[in-house]
Chains A and B, each alone.
Chain A
Amino acid sequence: MAQKDQLGRRGEDEAAAYLTALGWRIVDRNWRCPSGEIDIVALDGTELVIVEVKTRSGRGYGDPLEAVDPRKLTRLCILAGAWRRAHRDVRARTTRIDLIGVLAERHREPVLDHLRAAA
Chain B
Amino acid sequence: MSAVAPAVPTAPRSTSRAAAVALEGLAGRIVEIEAALTNQTPGLKLVGLPDTALREAQARVRSAVEHSGFEMPSRHLTVNLSPAAVPKHGSGFDLGIAVAVLGTTGTIDAEAVADTVFLGELGLDGRLRPVPGVLPAVRAAARAGRPRIVVPTASGAEASLVDGIEVVAVPSLRTLAIRLGADLEPVDVEPVPGPPPLRERSTAADLAEVVGHAEAVEALVVAAAGGHHLMMVGPPGAGKTMLATRLPGLLPDLAGEAALDATSIASLAGHGVDRVRTRPPWQAPHHTATEASIIGGGSGRIRPGAVTRASGGVLFLDEATEFAPSVLDALRQPLESGRIAVHRAAARAEFPARFQLVLAANPCACGQWQSAGGTCTCAPAARQRYLGRLSGPLLDRIDIRLHVDRPSAAEVRLAREEAPRVTTAAARERMLAARDRTAFRLRGTPWSINAEVPGSWLRHPDRAPADGAAASLDVALERRLINLRGHDRVLRLAWTLADLRGLDRPGRSEVGRALALRSSDA
What is A's interface to B at a CB cutoff of 8 Å? 13-14, 17-18, 20-22, 59, 62-63, 65-66, 68-69, 73, 99, 101, 109-118
Contacts and interface: CB of A to CB of B under 8 A. Distances in A.
Nearest to A73: B41
B41 A117 contact: no
Nearest to B62: A62
B38 to A, nearest CB: 11
A51 to B, nearest CB: 13
Contacts of A65: 41-42, 74
Given A20-B3, A66-B43, A117-B39, 6 more contacts: A22-B3, A65-B42, A73-B41, A112-B6, A115-B40, A118-B39
B332 interface: no
B4 interface: yes
Contacts of B72: 63
A115 B40 CA distance: 7
Contact of A118 (B2, B8, B41, B71): B41
A116 B39 contact: yes
A9 to B, nearest CB: 12
A111 B75 contact: no
A66 B42 CA distance: 5
Contacts of A118: 39-41
A111 B93 CA distance: 34
Given A69-B41, A99-B41, A116 B1 contact: no
A111 B72 CA distance: 16
Nearest to A113: B7
A86 to B, nearest CB: 27
B456 interface: no
Contacts of A110: 4
Contact of B74 (A22, A109, A113): A113
Given A63-B72, A65-B74, A101-B74, A114 B41 contact: no
A69 B3 CA distance: 27
A66 B39 contact: no
A66 B41 contact: yes
Counting chain B CB atoms within 10 Å of each CB, the highest count among A18, A21, A68, A115 belongs to A115
A25 B291 CA distance: 73
B288 interface: no
Q: For chain A, what secondary structure do more than half of its interface residues adopt (helix, strand, loop), or is it mixed?
A: mixed
Contact of A112 (B7, B43, B75): B7
Interface-central residue, A65, A68, A69, by most chain B CB under 10 Å:
A65
Contacts of A101: 74
A79 B226 CA distance: 83
Given A13-B1, A17-B1, A63-B72, A114 B6 contact: yes
Given A63-B72, A116-B10, A14 B42 contact: no
A40 B7 CA distance: 20
Interface in B1-30: 1-8, 10
B4 A109 contact: yes
A21 B2 CA distance: 9
Contacts of A20: 3
Contacts of A66: 41-43
Interface string B26-66: 00000000000001111100000000000000000000000
A42 B3 CA distance: 16
Contacts of B42: 62-63, 65-66
Nearest to A111: B7
Given A21-B3, A66-B43, A114 B74 contact: no
A63 B74 contact: yes
B6 A68 contact: no
A115 B75 contact: yes
A111 B468 CA distance: 98
Contacts of B2: 17
A110 B41 CA distance: 20
Contacts of A14: 1, 4
Contact of B4 (A63, A99, A112): A112
Contacts of B7: 111-113
A106 to B, nearest CB: 16
A96 to B, nearest CB: 12
Given A63-B72, A63-B74, A65-B74, A18 B3 contact: yes
A111 B4 contact: yes
A105 to B, nearest CB: 13
A53 to B, nearest CB: 13
B490 to A, nearest CB: 75
Nearest 5 interchain pairs by C-beta = A21-B3, A114-B6, A18-B3, A66-B42, A113-B7
Contacts of A22: 3
B459 to A, nearest CB: 74
Contacts of B40: 115, 118
A114 B9 CA distance: 8
A19 to B, nearest CB: 8
